[in-house]
Amino acid sequence: MTIQDWGSMGELIGAIATVATLAYLAVQIRINTRIAKTSALQSMLAGSRDHFLNAMYSDGDVCETMTKGLNSMDALDHTEKTRFACFMIEQVLQMQDIMERYEADLVTEVDYLAWLEWTCLLFRSPGGRKVWPQVSAVTTSTINGVLNAHLKETPDGPSVLDIMPVFDRR
């Protein structure tokens, strides 16, 4: 075997190793992407559970304030109005986080649209409609535009009170 033959064989082995490395990296990237997407969804669900659901079922006062606020801001005292407004701001900020994860392809369209509709369900309630101008004044124009567009596209859509009558006190 000549040196040229050895050189050709080395080039072939190098090419095979390069292809194998690229295939390995492609598999690793796919696995990491799947892990990132799963982690993003788990984080979203944990955030909702920790900031909304736990407070609603573990603290009767919070549950009462949120329920009254969804039905009518007029039924709340000053402190309750502040708490309700903060709750609604938190919902918008969580939706913004979900929107950014969706745009980064970490959240599926189905999950994104479900969260978007949930957020709009809250703002279609009587209290949600009343507090929206205040909430939109302190959140970004980007998420406000997304929510306004969805609310405009679905003006006759249900509110959370229609979907979950347990909150309805009308």
pLDDT at 87: 92
Low-confidence ranges of the chain (pLDDT < 70): 24, 30-31, 33-38, 40-42, 44-54, 56-57
pTM of the model: 0.74
Classify residue 139 by its DSSP letter: S
Distance CA 41, CA 149 (A): 24
Contacts of residue 68, defined as CB under 8 A and 6 or more positions apart, other chains included, come to 75, 76, 80, 84, 127, 169
